[in-house]
Amino acid sequence: MRRLALPASRLALGAEIVGGVSALLAFCALAGGASPTISAARRKAKLAPTTSASVRASAAASASAPAIGGAPSGPVSSASAPLLLASAAPSARPVVSAAATAPSEPVRGKRVRAVAEGGVGALGGADLDGDRVRIAPGARVLVFGDSMVQAGLAMRLGNLVKARGGTLEFDGWTSSTTTKWAAGDRLAKLLERVNPDVVFIALGSNECFLGDPVKVAPNVRAIVAQLAGRQCVWLGPPVWKGETGIVGVERDASSPCAFYDSGKLEIKRYEDGIHPNLEGGIYWANKVWEASVEPMPGTPLARP
């Protein structure tokens, strides 16, 4: 058979076609992801706008959403805001109010809580929460409460006040409670008659075993409110056989009066084992005076 001879121009054309096809295949392979560097760069370029948009949307949603617990949204002042924690930033720190870290200054008429258990007042002594009272010459002092006021306590406080050049009156209402003193007009008439500068209150002994002593708190606050800002010291009951919480209730509710915890004293009592006898009452009064009354230079402690 006779072979056909192709002209040289056709051979050259075929070679060019084959070379072009090879080049096209190589280009397609390169563009389709054969190079990880170029592919990763392209994927990153495509993802970047989407990621930025989602972050901006999330930030906007967080800024407008209300805080958990009912706290208001929007800008918050650090001086009055509750403690807020960032929910998404692990390294974020809570914002602490400046008022919470400010040192408390003792102010007369304001209760200054003791740090240690049992209490050490701002100017007072052991077992006193609050400022001491000032009894100067001419001061009028009133002591009122239940039957614990009678005998040694009132007598000894009267002698101490007299040694300062003042006067003292007392009213020991037998079997009385904070409820009785808060109701009626007995206290109002007593305050009007005596017009005291300093008041000592001894109540709570007849409420030592209440099932729910928290109910007494409004009575305590009502009694203190009637004192109309006078210097005052609330004497916790001299408990003799435990109590169910009246001491803590009186301590919390009697502010801004100073509070003296009488329950830790070893007081001598009558045969009933409840009421302080004359010696026990004098001892109680001395402890109250030392802790709650400002000392006056040059004034010796009066003898019993």
Q: What is the pLDDT of residues 104-136, one digit of tens each?
A: 222 234 454 443 333 333 444 567 999 999 999
CA–CA dist 197, 230 (Å, integer): 6
CA–CA dist 122, 113 (Å, integer): 8
The answer to which of 24-28, 33-37, 103-107, 202-206 has the lowest mean pLDDT is 103-107
Instruction: Give mean pLDDT, residues 53-62.
Output: 37
CA–CA dist 235, 223 (Å, integer): 13
pLDDT of 193 > 60? The answer is: yes
CA–CA dist 131, 142 (Å, integer): 18
pLDDT of 276 > 50? The answer is: yes
Instruction: Give mean pLDDT, residues 157-169.
Output: 97
Task: Note the pLDDT of residue 142.
Answer: 98
CA–CA dist 65, 53 (Å, integer): 18
The answer to which of 88-97, 226-235, 282-291, 295-304 has the lowest mean pLDDT is 88-97
Residue type, 94: P
Q: Which residues pair with 167 in a beta bridge?
A: 140
Task: Note the pLDDT of residue 17.
Answer: 60
Burial class (CB in 10 A: 0-12, 13-18, 19+), 29: exposed
Task: Note the pLDDT of residue 215.
Answer: 96
What is the pTM (predicted TM-score) of this model? Answer: 0.61
What domains can be seen in the chain, in order of their start residue? Answer: 128-292 (3.40.50.1110)
CB 149 within 8 A of CB 275: no
Q: Residue 131 contacts by C-beta under 8 Å, 6 or more apart in sequence?
A: 106, 107, 108, 109, 110, 112, 121, 122, 123, 124, 258
41 vs 256: which has the higher pLDDT: 256
CA–CA dist 172, 147 (Å, integer): 5
Query: Is residue 52 helix, strand or coil?
Result: helix
Cis preceding-peptide flag for 256 (omega within 30 of 0) = yes
pLDDT digits (tens, 9 = 90+) for 216-252: 999 999 999 999 999 999 999 999 999 999 999 999 9
Burial class (CB in 10 A: 0-12, 13-18, 19+), 265: middle
Which tokens go with 202? 């001894």
Q: Which residues pair with 166 in a beta bridge?
A: none
CA–CA dist 187, 226 (Å, integer): 8
